[in-house]
Amino acid sequence: MAVQVETSESIELALLLEAIHRRYGFDFRDYSADPLRRRLHRRARAEHVESLSELQGLLLRDPGCMERLLGDLSVNVTAMFRDPSFFAALRRTVVPILRMRRFARIWCAGCSTGEEVYSLAIVLREEGLYDRVRIYATDLNEYALEAAAAGVVPLGRMQEYTDNYIRSGGRREFSAYYVAAYDAARFNRDLIGNVVFAQHNLASDRAFAEFDLIFCRNVLIYFETGLQNRVTELFCDSLRPFGVLGLGSRETIAHSPVAGRFAPLAPRDRIYRKAA
């Protein structure tokens, strides 16, 4: 039987991720290796070091470097009403379920800079449900959470966001939800009146409540299969009976250990409902 020999860089990568976990408690060991390696090398160049081993030494000595690396490693690719058909399906299939609850808890996991949190809040506001929910918006990156809480986005993106909103079934003028000033738009503060922003690491932290709806869109694709399975099990354990899970367009629970505990609610839009 052939013995697989690790390259020096793969060993450096493993040691660096172990060092981060032991020093700071952040666990990236089961993230998809290729995009992780690219982001680490980009951080190494920005810090003017030549190898992952040198980056490791710097990270262990300088917490500020770790803060900068977190910004590189967290997933910040997002948009308002991203994949409009998902939000149209949310109105069609999930809103009627939430109407049956006197009060609902919603977890937006991996919320990044908050665009999907505000999108969800708008849907709930238009459906008359906002005052009956609490949204927990979590992310690994505390700086992304600060940006999410601020609710400020570049004005140049508002035409794209408006188009997405209309295609998702929006019922008002999108401009009613923000105030434009100079080159930025600030979303109305009442959209996050029932939102709690908190740091949470999907790779290592446990469940913290029982939810009626969990959003985690376009985050699992950055994880290796083992971590994907652990996170979907976490979501399953965190949902109440008949709770709903919404994933990204390239994500599925079909091959996960919890697949048998869910039924498709809107399969083309990756919305699933947990069994009793």
Phi-psi region of 48 (alpha: psi -120 to 50; beta: other; left: phi over 0): left
In this structure, what token pair is assigned to residue 55? 């980056």
The tens digit of pLDDT for each residue in 171-183 reads 999 999 999 988 9
Domain ranges of the chain: 8-73, 84-274
pLDDT score recorded for residue 3: 45
CATH fold, domain 84-274, is Rossmann fold (3.40.50)
pLDDT score recorded for residue 240: 96
pLDDT score recorded for residue 4: 54
Q: Residue 159 is which amino acid?
A: Q
pLDDT score recorded for residue 142: 85
pTM for this entry: 0.85
The tens digit of pLDDT for each residue in 213-270 reads 999 998 998 889 999 999 999 999 999 999 999 999 989 998 899 999 999 999 999 9
Q: How many C-beta atoms surround the C-beta of residue 74 within 10 A?
A: 21
pLDDT score recorded for residue 70: 83
Closest residue by Cα to residue 131 from 160, 102, 155: 102
Per-block average pLDDT, block size 10, for the chain (276 residues)?
Answer: 66 90 85 86 92 92 89 75 96 97 96 95 98 96 90 93 97 95 94 96 87 94 91 96 95 92 95 92
CB 242 within 8 A of CB 269: no
